C-alpha cells in the first residue's frame, strides 16, 4: 500500500494537468484533503426502485452523501430493467444480471483510469468484455446444490497505451485492485433488509 501511495505522490509535479480526462490535480488534492479531514472520505450512495409490471422495474438515482454534504445529481437518473423473452419479459431493457456486469465493467474501468492517471500513465483506449455463467436450477429451486447467483465471471481487457506489453496487466490490476464493485462482488457485502406495508 505504501508503494502505491508513493506513486500517487510522485505525480505531484503534474498537479495542474488533466491526463486521460482526469483532473490529476484535483485527485491529488482529494488525497490531501482526506488526510487532513478523514470524515470527508465517507460516502453513502442511494437509489430508489419502483416495480412496474412483471419483469419491469426502474431505479431513480437522485441524491448521495459525501464529504460531509448531502449532494443532488443535476437531474435524477432513471435506470430501467426488464428480462428477455426467454425469461418471460418483454426485452425492453437490460436485465438485472446484465446491469451487474455493467456496474463491474464501469467500476474497474474508471478505477484503472483514475489510478493510471495519478501515476502519469497515458491511456489511449480501453475496451472490455464481460461474461457470467448462471444456472437456473438455482433460481427455480430445482437443485439446492446450484447457487442462485453467478457461478463465475470472465473479463477481458484490451488496452492501448504507450507502455511495454508486460505493463498492460499491471494497468488492469490498478483497476481490479482498486474497484469498489470488484471488491464488493469478489469478497461479498453484508446486506440488511427490512419490509413494511406500502
Q: Would you say 67 or 120 has its CB closer to a second copy?
A: 67
**Residues of span 46-65 touching a second copy by CB under 8 A:** 46-59, 61, 64
Distance between the two ends of the chain, CA-based, in angstroms?
47
Q: Which of 13, 16, 36, 133 binds a second copy (CB under 8 A)?
A: 133
User: Is residue 176 within the footprint of a second copy (CB under 8 A)?
Assistant: yes
- If we measure between CA atoms, which residue out of 55, 120, 48, 116 comes closest to residue 87? 55
Q: How far is the CB of 114 from a second copy (least distance, A)?
A: 7
Cβ pair 98, 69 in contact under 8 A: no
User: Is residue 162 within the footprint of a second copy (CB under 8 A)?
Assistant: no
User: Is residue 149 within the footprint of a second copy (CB under 8 A)?
Assistant: yes
Residue where the block lists cell 412483471:
54
Q: Which of 13, 16, 21, 70 binds a second copy (CB under 8 A)?
A: 21
- If we measure between CA atoms, which residue out of 127, 121, 130, 132 comes closest to residue 109? 127
Q: Would you say 13 or 53 has its CB closer to a second copy?
A: 53
- Name all contacts of 1-9 with Cβ < 8 Å and 24+ positions apart: 4/115, 7/118, 7/119, 8/115, 8/118, 8/119
**Residues of span 82-111 touching a second copy by CB under 8 A:** 83-84, 86-88, 91, 93-107, 109-111
- Name all contacts of 90-95 with Cβ < 8 Å and 24+ positions apart: 90/54, 90/55, 90/56, 92/56, 93/56, 95/55
Q: Would you say 14 or 110 has its CB closer to a second copy?
A: 110
Q: How far is the CB of 13 from a second copy (least distance, A)?
A: 19
Q: How far is the CB of 1 from a second copy (least distance, A)?
A: 4
- If we measure between CA atoms, which residue out of 140, 165, 137 comes closest to residue 151? 137
User: Is residue 121 within the footprint of a second copy (CB under 8 A)?
Assistant: no
Q: How far is the CB of 174 from a second copy (least distance, A)?
A: 10
66 alpha-carbon distance from chain centroid: 17
Q: How far is the CB of 100 from a second copy (least distance, A)?
A: 4
Q: Would you say 13 or 23 has its CB closer to a second copy?
A: 23
Q: Which three cell numbers stand for residue 154?
A: 470472465
Amino acid at each position: 500500500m505504501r508503494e502505491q501511495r508513493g506513486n500517487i505522490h510522485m505525480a505531484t509535479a503534474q498537479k495542474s494537468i488533466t491526463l486521460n480526462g482526469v483532473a490529476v490535480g484535483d485527485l491529488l488534492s482529494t488525497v490531501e484533503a482526506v488526510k487532513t479531514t478523514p470524515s470527508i472520505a465517507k460516502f453513502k450512495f442511494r437509489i430508489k426502485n419502483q416495480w412496474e409490471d412483471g419483469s419491469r422495474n426502474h431505479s431513480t438515482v437522485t441524491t448521495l452523501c459525501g464529504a460531509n454534504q448531502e449532494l443532488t445529481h443535476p437531474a435524477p437518473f432513471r435506470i430501467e430493467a426488464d428480462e428477455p423473452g426467454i425469461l418471460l419479459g418483454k426485452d425492453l431493457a437490460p436485465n438485472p444480471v446484465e446491469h451487474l456486469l455493467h456496474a463491474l465493467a464501469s467500476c474497474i474501468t474508471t478505477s484503472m483510469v483514475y489510478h493510471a492517471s495519478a501515476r502519469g500513465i497515458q491511456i489511449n483506449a480501453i475496451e472490455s468484455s464481460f461474461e457470467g455463467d448462471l444456472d437456473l436450477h438455482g433460481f427455480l429451486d430445482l437443485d439446492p446444490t446450484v447457487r442462485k447467483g453467478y457461478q463465475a465471471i470472465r473479463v477481458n481487457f484490451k488496452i492501448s497505451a504507450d507502455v511495454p506489453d508486460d505493463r498492460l496487466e499491471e494497468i488492469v490490476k490498478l483497476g481490479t485492485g482498486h474497484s469498489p464493485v470488484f471488491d464488493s462482488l469478489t469478497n461479498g457485502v453484508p446486506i440488511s433488509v427490512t419490509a413494511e406495508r406500502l
